[in-house]
Structure 1
Amino acid sequence: MKKKTLACIAALVAAGSASAQSSVTLFGVLDAAVSYYQTNSKYVNAFNPANPALPVPHPDVRQSQWVLSSGNYTGSRVGFRGTEDLGGGLAASFWLEAGIANDTGASLTPIGVAFNRRSTVSLSGAFGEVRLGRDYTPTFWNDNVFDPFQTVGVGAVAISMLLGGAGSAGTIGNLVVNPNYVRASNSVSYFLPPDLGGFYGHVMYAFGENTKYDPGTLTPPTPNTARTGRYAGARLGYANGPLDVAAAYGSSVVGDDYFAGITKYLNTGNIAGSYDFGPAKLFGEYSHVELQNDRKIQSPFAPSGDITITGYLLGLTVPVGPGLIRASYSHLQADLKNVAQASPGVSVPDPKADKLALGYVHNLSKRTLLYATFGYTKNKNGAAIPPALPPNGNVGYLNPSVTDLLNQSAGYRADTGYGYDLGIRHVF
């Protein structure tokens, strides 16, 4: 019996030695915070239509909310990753990562998508890495890496609040929605090798996986089914010592109508950088987003529907003992002159938003930290950037509708919004 037992142990050891060059890791992040969100809406037309000389009082409207939120310093998640050494410098890897809301235990995944954050398999070597599946887009990397608050929580850079989800970012967000802002599914990516003297970068192409008909006249007359979903983008950067700079550009097909001869492209470009002086690290970014309506026949008398949004960020982090102070200021402005006119010859005022954020992080260990963040946003001319994005907060503004913005009808408009995050993050 002992001989059989020893033989079994020896066999297991031998098997383990044969697979010693393979590894599988379970990892995750749990991030929870007590958060407060508040918005203020003002009435923009305080005159009596029957007698314009007499003002009609309309009080400001405040909406507020206390929540137990998740992922305000780092997105909560659980995942598996593994690598197999194939020899000759080649390696095969996989990565499966799912977002979770640890305040409720719910999965932050759409129906039918188990690993919504990342789901990739790759082959790497001296040539670089080829990665297939769902992953970050090249254009999102700059927003994330060069934002002191990493595009999460009440401190997230303003432009990430705009492009982060369908309709979730208020008025301008309803006009400009990018389903491939953070990640793209059905993608093939190539990453440069890490030994290029500080240069890095990658390119990505994501398939729309739509059916193409030949002849094209047999295409079903259903909008957003012929070309929608495709993404192509690239990022190139240089990091050396305290300096890190990168530029990225990407284009998503966000809508189409084959028989109307219309294809909607959302083109995103940004350039960003950081420099670590030691006592402080500075961040900066400039972003340019354009919703382009490519029409086979464009009427000279109708607005093109194109929208341009520009934004910038200035930020810094300051290490203080076991902690880190974070601060940023971000701005965005939308040009809607090609969407509609308030009245003949009068353009719609440009919606604008300015955001200030301040936070402190205190490291209790290498894996556990406490954080506090404050964010304040000032909206103008119909912009409605909220304090936080769902699922953490759903407090909004009164009547920041697209129709109200374009027609300049009487009603309440978004004014200010702010929020607090007081939380703990643990990684494993």
Structure 2
Amino acid sequence: MKAGSLSMLVLGASGLAHAQSSLTIFGVIDASVSHYANKSEDRNAATFTSPFYVNQGSVTASRTALANSAYNNSRLGFRGTEDLGGGLAAGFWLESPITNDDGATGLSTFTRRSTLSLMGEFGELRLGRDYTPTFWSDAVFDPFGAVGVGANLISSASLFNPTGGAGGFGGNPNYMRASNSVAYFLPPALGGIYGQFMYALHENNSYAPGSATPPGVNPVTGQVNPGAVASARAGRYVGGRLGYLRGPLDIAVSYGSSIAADSYFAGTTDDVRTANLGASYDFGVAKLFGELTRMRRERDEVVAPLIPVPDSEFVGYLIGVTVPIGPGLIRASYARVKYDMNGNSPVPDPKATKFSIGYVHNLSRRTALYANFAQIRNSNGAAVTVGGPAFVSAGVFTPRTSTGYDFGIRHAF
């Protein structure tokens, strides 16, 4: 930064500096050359009698890109605290995603985190947009931190909706982060016990009596559809996480409920419920990780229909390890997920497995070089990728393998 620009920044922030006990500007710039290859196959057998059929083989959609956030998510943030006296403090945190490969995304939003907090011996009350309690285990108990081609398969599966439609699994809008949230964090001095609890408001309009609720609006045309249904609570999230961190052991359990769809007129509420258990143990020569997750979409109906809508769910697990070698770190993981569509799909339940391996070489405390490799094997219609283009799935082709690598550099400040 030029001296003149720095002086202007200091002068412009002087009023804020008097009110803040601390003000920190921080960030990460992460750049990589990444390659993705997603292969689909014709799984049908060739026939030489009527009807005659020749197997179509395979087709691969691939991409090589100068990418970002393959080791740590690129970001720019501002955080600060003010000492209010009597053990109380106020704090804020504003964090923006950055796409440093093209410069197109920067300080236009603070969608990574935007919170205001009140802290004291009682713990922390945090308001705004933040990670959900149920997401934390996907990142903390994954050697790859749920980013890059090696990212947690459970995380990728949570973002994939096998029945189509918007949102992640089951249409969940709050898998990773929730907006409009009120969260409480336990104080740190509890002998290793930690925890957080979150309630995110849906901020939709409510009507009394409920019969006054207007019909829905077509999201494409914007026109009112008299026969449509109106969502009243879609987007609400409630969840919590409780853990124990002492010495080399870290273990946590979490549970959350996110409303994906809600209709007064139809008398239905679709709820995506997530439960997970994760743990890690650092032996010094190696650190082991493990996670078990169950995510389920259920429909609650006021009047039981003649043909109920089946629930759907997936169960996944991950085991991983990191091994320090001098200034470097070897990372590896294996994960598996299986979808249970409960009759929603005419084919056997989709499933996927993933193997990831990588190496990080720390040039300094803030700068590192890294390399990752990962492959996912899909079956029965699962279409989870390590990144890049979507599978070719038209006609006879079925998603099969997704392979990728990252070679990059990360600098933190």
Structure 2-normalised TM-score?
Answer: 0.89
2:180 maps to 1:186:
yes
Does the 8 Å contact 2:170/2:260 carry over to 1?
A: no
1:75 is paired with a residue of what secondary structure? Answer: coil
Match of 2:136 among 141, 144, 155: 141
Partner of 2:63: 65
2:282 maps to 1:276:
yes
1:61 is paired with a residue of what secondary structure? Answer: strand
Partner of 2:23: 24
Partner of 1:216: 210
Report runs of 4+ in structure 1 exceeding 6 Å deviation. Answer: 168-174
Q: Deviation of residue 20 (structure 1)?
A: 8.8
Where does 1:94-173 land on structure 2 (aligned, <5 Å)?
Answer: 94-107=92-105, 114-164=109-159
1:102-151 deviations in whole A, cap 9, x for unaligned?
00012179xxx710000000000000000000001000011110000011
1:181-239 deviations in whole A, cap 9, x for unaligned?
11100000000000000000000000000111111001112246311010000000001
Distance 1:78 1:288 in 2: 33
Q: Which range is displaced more, 330-339 or 39-48?
A: 39-48
Match of 2:313 among 281, 284, 308: 308
2:223 maps to 1:233:
no
2:253 is paired with a residue of what secondary structure? Answer: strand
Where does 1:1-400 land on structure 2 (aligned, <5 Å)?
Answer: 19=18, 22-46=21-45, 51-52=50-51, 54-107=52-105, 114-164=109-159, 176-222=170-216, 223=229, 225-300=231-306, 302-340=307-345, 342=346, 348-388=347-387, 393=388, 395-399=389-393
Q: Deviation of residue 317 (structure 1)?
A: 0.2
Does the 8 Å contact 1:162/1:173 carry over to 2?
A: no
Q: Deviation of residue 45 (structure 1)?
A: 3.0
* Aligned-pair Cα RMSD in Å: 2.4
Q: Deviation of residue 169 (structure 1)?
A: 11
Distance 2:37 2:377 in 1: 12
1:102 is paired with a residue of what secondary structure? Answer: coil
Gap change, CA 1:242 and 1:382, over 3 Å in 2 = same
Distance 2:138 2:57 in 1: 37
Distance 2:332 2:121 in 1: 39
Does the 8 Å contact 1:331/1:353 carry over to 2?
A: yes
Distance 1:172 1:307 in 2: 16
Partner of 1:406: none
Q: Deviation of residue 57 (structure 1)?
A: 2.4
Gap change, CA 1:414 and 1:89, over 3 Å in 2 = same
Structure 1-normalised TM-score?
Answer: 0.86
Q: Deviation of residue 282 (structure 1)?
A: 0.2
Gap change, CA 1:412 and 1:37, over 3 Å in 2 = same
Distance 1:303 1:324 in 2: 51
1:101 is paired with a residue of what secondary structure? Answer: coil
2:401 maps to 1:416:
yes
Distance 1:262 1:228 in 2: 11
Q: Deviation of residue 162 (structure 1)?
A: 2.0
Gap change, CA 1:116 and 1:258, over 3 Å in 2 = same
Does the 8 Å contact 1:30/1:102 carry over to 2?
A: yes
Distance 2:166 2:323 in 1: 33
Does the 8 Å contact 1:163/1:177 carry over to 2?
A: no
Q: Deviation of residue 172 (structure 1)?
A: 11
Residue 189 of structure 2 aligns to which amino acid in structure 1?
D
Residue 137 of structure 2 aligns to which amino acid in structure 1?
N
Q: Which range is displaced more, 272-281 or 329-338?
A: 329-338
Q: Which range is displaced more, 168-177 or 281-290?
A: 168-177
Gap change, CA 1:225 and 1:418, over 3 Å in 2 = same
Does the 8 Å contact 2:38/2:390 carry over to 1?
A: yes
Q: Deviation of residue 171 (structure 1)?
A: 9.5
Does the 8 Å contact 1:304/1:338 carry over to 2?
A: no
Does the 8 Å contact 2:44/2:55 carry over to 1?
A: no
1:42 is paired with a residue of what secondary structure? Answer: strand
Distance 1:338 1:131 in 2: 41
Does the 8 Å contact 1:94/1:122 carry over to 2?
A: yes
2:55 is paired with a residue of what secondary structure? Answer: coil
Between the two proteins, the alignment pairs up a number of residues equal to 388
Gap change, CA 1:79 and 1:366, over 3 Å in 2 = same
